[in-house]
Amino acid sequence: MFDLLNSVVFFIVAIGVLITFHEYGHFWVARRMGVTVLRFSVGFGPVMWRYKPKNSLTEYVVSTIPLGGYVRMLDESQDKVSEDLLPSAFNRQPLYKRSAIVAAGPLANFLLAGILYGMVFMIGTDGLRPIVGALVDSGLAAKSGFLVGDEIQSVDEKPNESWEQNHFYLLDKIVSREAVEYEVFNDSGHRLLTVDFGELSEVDLQTASIENVMGMYPATPLIRPIIAGLVPDFPAEQAGLRAGDEILMINGHDVSDWNDLVGLVSQTQATQLTVRYFRDGIENEVLLEPRIVERNGATIRQIGISVNAEEQLRDSDATVTLRYGLFDSLLRGFETMWSTTVLTIKMLVSMITLEQSADSIGGPIAIAEHAGKAAEAGINNYLTFLALLSVSLGILNLLPIPVLDGGHLLFHVYEAICGSPPTERMLIVANQIGLFLLICLMGFAFYNDIARIF
């Protein structure tokens, strides 16, 4: 219940921020272009809150359905406009002004994404050091000359200070099937290695990570099996185990790290476990029965303990924290925004051409789920999630589909070429087609959401 509430709350926050910023882009440019704005609305449907300043024609409202918003401008096609307000009507503006107002919404989303990424860089990001820990013998990285212990210092001359730093750049190169030059360092000195992603067969980036694509994995420190927390009324707590206890053995099998412990407990067929642990300089043993639980359709066994992996990683020399000043953060933020925009467009094109599966398209349920998980993972994860969603919203609105901003810009292109706007009949038909396409897209997204659940 808490997870559901958490997801709903952070979904509403995410959608509210993105829609408000998008609509404010339209609003701000319209006001600068001298157009009268009658209503600025966040959400659709019945109005929950409204405010209209004195001596202003603009009404600000928040509506009940938070899946969109709009800026209603004075327009002779929709309103009876008095003579004195005609110069401020939207339809009376030159084509370049109308186009700027329409394009301002999606552009505001790209601006927001750059700022959000910049905030992430200012707060600081934790990551693994860029050291190769394991290679698949037949993998692309091994064939390209990588060795275990290599430290990746640059990617196409871009500095590489953590394993995750150039993630979006590499995804872009994989989708484009381009070659990438790595500078690596080990005890033998520096080397330049070229990885040609054009050698790859078809790659499904919905399910495959960069590590799996390359057959190369980072060096990770062992997580000591020291109990950080216990689940109330689970076997570990009932048997008397405490936070701070270090697990040494389970049913006679040595436990050297947390992964050993998880594997031994979750896959055991024994009805009872003898757990040997270390506390206050003394080794002790307890007997407990693992509890059978269902997770993602699979049956596993748990004893109800957790480990503080993040704290252990921070204390090790296998991680780095990257933090930058204001200017550098914003510069890196907008570079990341550009990379994610290009990558998203390429992924969209590959879905249209059936090179990639469209199963990753998600609707409100998927967005809410990701919003909750990102928020639980920390402020940086939530800001990154918002940035990615803002880029997606900007691209979606620029698609040349009538009823979207991109459709309106398409009409403006028609007007620029033909010298006059589309006829009313053309607009009606085009908007009907656009609405049908949008409903189909939303229906497909909902279908994917439901398919993931069941």
Other C-beta atoms closer than 10 Å to the C-beta of 64 total 10
CB 77 within 8 A of CB 92: no
Please name every residue paired with 71 in a beta bridge, in sequence order, or none if there are none.
Answer: 40
Task: Annotate 204-272 with DSSP letters as a single string.
Answer: -TTT--HHHHHTEEE-------B--EE-TTSHHHHTT--TT-EEEEETTEE--SHHHHHHHHHT---SS
Catalytic annotation present for 23:
yes
**Residue of 168, 50, 52, 27 whose CA lies nearest to 105:** 27
> What six digits make up the tokens of 132?
């190769």
Q: Report the b/e string of 401-437 with b at 16+ CB within 10 A.
A: bbbbbbbbbbbbeeeeeeeebbeeeeeeebeeebeeb
Which residue out of 23, 183, 311, 424 is catalytically annotated?
Answer: 23
Separation CA 152–CA 159 (nearest Å) = 9
DSSP state for residue 197 in the 8-state scheme: G
Separation CA 264–CA 301 (nearest Å) = 9
> What six digits make up the tokens of 248?
């040494």
User: Which sign, positive or negative, has the C-alpha torsion 303, 306, 309, 311?
Assistant: negative
Other C-beta atoms closer than 10 Å to the C-beta of 185 total 16
**Residue of 100, 92, 77 whose CA lies nearest to 36:** 92
Q: Burial of 10 by CB count in 10 Å (0-12 exposed, 13-18 middle, 19+ buried)?
A: buried
> What six digits make up the tokens of 195?
């990885």
Other C-beta atoms closer than 10 Å to the C-beta of 450 total 11
* Catalytic residue ranges: 23
